[in-house]
Structure 1
């Protein structure tokens, strides 16, 4: 039976993929058969092989269990807009059953551990009735919260945690990602969060100029997840 973790962020563009990729690299180094799953993506690029999302490609490359792209990212859309709107524009819907089927397929492919990366923040609409967080609750996935370190992150982090706890989901850990190397009072903000976040602190992603190329192995402590 595979163990799966869901990666959410305090906002969009706070480093979910960077954290997911780094976790996969750490688990791979431990000899685990791990896979990344980016069930929903928007802002994809057209290629001869079909639509491709940069985040999903990063997860695919970092995983020790090699899977075809369509298995890593089954719901892919070209416009960089809310995915449910992008899906509607091409006459599709994002069904929770489809998200579940994708996760089961990865587990059946031999994954011991799956890192599932969300899209945007915690409350991502799938349609006018359902949220991606409803699916996370349905699957009872432990959540890892990525806090993007910027002005307002304390409020965003605590609101996200409150929403997750309201759905009675376990918070497996949290990571802070330093988005701005010149953020005012960054150490004090981190210290405040370490006192208030009700979950293990897995580590800090330092500010890097080229996140896609950065090797961040060693930054995160995966022992609380094992």
Structure 2
């Protein structure tokens, strides 16, 4: 937000001036004492000046707020698109093809435990499975948007853009597991939106 502060009126600084501190001579004791003199006239004038400063110098720049909001939304879409592209490409690669390659070409160099772990990772409930992958995507969506449900539509757009970019990076259609993940993510977005709407209705 752009807060414009105009130069302070010099009259407003008079309260700090030496003329408001007057030195009186105590003739009876022949000593000097520093005594602060309260000047009602100057005080009223200064109060008026400060009131003027308070009214004129702090303005809400609506256009700047809108510009920053558009910039923020654009950043959210871009960040979420890149995250989606990365995670969907990783899932697509997935490790199914990698696992098949390893088992065909390097089966003598890996243990049965490693093979089983790889199988588990790409299973329905594994790390690269539909549920865990879609859950990670939604968690990132909430993190990058600050958990604001009003951003769901732009998050959906970022997700769709990232998914399409992952398809291009893959060179063809993504595997079925990625398509199922896409559907699961969109369903989770709908659940989040419905939950937010229900919460709003209960508070009204």
TM-score by length of structure 1 reads: 0.25
Q: Between Structure 1 and Structure 2, which shows a larger proportion of strand residues?
A: 1
TM-score, normalized by length of structure 2?
A: 0.28
More helix by share: 2
Larger RCO: 1 or 2 (CA < 8 Å, sep 6+): 1
